[in-house]
């Protein structure tokens, strides 16, 4: 029987699914995460986000809130209602910086909230805080 040690190795990159309809932002987030040695998968169409989460099995989901067709808020509700997916931490990213929006998004199940325009350092700090090994 083969002994697969790789899965337990600290060298295995954590996986981040990025849901963002803006192509430039999506590339920026994915490039930034890859530069910090995360494995990334990008989704531009929110309607594909739940299936992508199932297929990619990420350690973290970065979720834009303003999306066409389906809001990031509704996607957070869907993900948190799914037994197989609800344990994946979600970091919401949104241009809406109002207190009410932040509270509504956190109440839906987002574990962190970063407002646009994005500070790259705060973005990475928030990702690392959510993925730090326990
Ligand atoms: Mn957007």
Find the 55 Cα to ligand 1 centroid distance in Å. 22
Specify if 52 maps to a domain. yes
Specify if 72 maps to a domain. yes
- What is the chain written as a DSSP string? -----GGG-TTSPPEEEEE-S-HHHHHHHHHHHHHTT-EEEEES-GGGHHHHHHHH--SEEEEES--SSS-HHHHHHHHHT-TTTTTS-EEEEES---HHHHHHHHHHT-SEEEESSPPHHHHHHHHHHHH---
Specify if 7 maps to a domain. no
| Domain ranges, residue 75 | 13-132
The two tokens of residue 37 are: 């040695």
* Residue 5 pLDDT greater than 70, yes or no: no
Residue 31: which CATH number?
3.40.50.2300
Query: How much of the chain, in percent, has pLDDT values that exceed 70?
Result: 89
Specify if 1 maps to a domain. no
Q: In terms of pLDDT, which residue wins out, 56 or 3?
A: 56
Find the 94 Cα to ligand 1 centroid distance in Å. 8
Find the 10 Cα to ligand 1 centroid distance in Å. 33
Structural domain count, the chain: 1
Provide the pLDDT for residue 9: 52
Specify if 4 maps to a domain. no
Q: What integer is the mean pLDDT of 39-55? A: 98
Question: What is the distance between the alpha carbons of residues 30 and 18, in angstroms, rounded to a whole number?
Answer: 7
Provide the pLDDT for residue 68: 95
* Residue 89 pLDDT greater than 70, yes or no: yes
Specify if 6 maps to a domain. no
Find the 134 Cα to ligand 1 centroid distance in Å. 32
Provide the pLDDT for residue 47: 97
Specify if 87 maps to a domain. yes
Q: In terms of pLDDT, which residue wins out, 94 or 88?
A: 88
Find the 64 Cα to ligand 1 centroid distance in Å. 6
Q: What integer is the mean pLDDT of 88-111? A: 90
Specify if 50 maps to a domain. yes
pLDDT category of residue 98 using cuts at 50, 70 and 90:
confident
């Amino acid at each position: 029987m083969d002994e697969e040690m790789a899965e337990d190795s600290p060298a295995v990159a954590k996986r981040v699914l990025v849901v963002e309809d803006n192509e430039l932002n999506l590339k920026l987030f994915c490039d930034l995460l890859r530069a910090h040695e995360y494995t990334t998968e990008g989704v531009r169409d929110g309607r594909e986000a739940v299936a992508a989460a199932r297929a990619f099995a990420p350690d973290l989901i970065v979720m834009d809130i303003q999306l066409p067709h389906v809001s990031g808020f509704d996607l957070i509700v869907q993900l948190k209602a799914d037994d197989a997916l609800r344990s994946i931490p979600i970091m919401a990213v949104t241009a809406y910086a109002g207190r009410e929006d932040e509270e509504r998004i956190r109440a839906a199940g987002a574990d962190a909230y970063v407002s646009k325009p994005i500070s790259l350092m705060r973005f990475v700090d928030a990702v690392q805080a959510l993925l730090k090994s326990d």
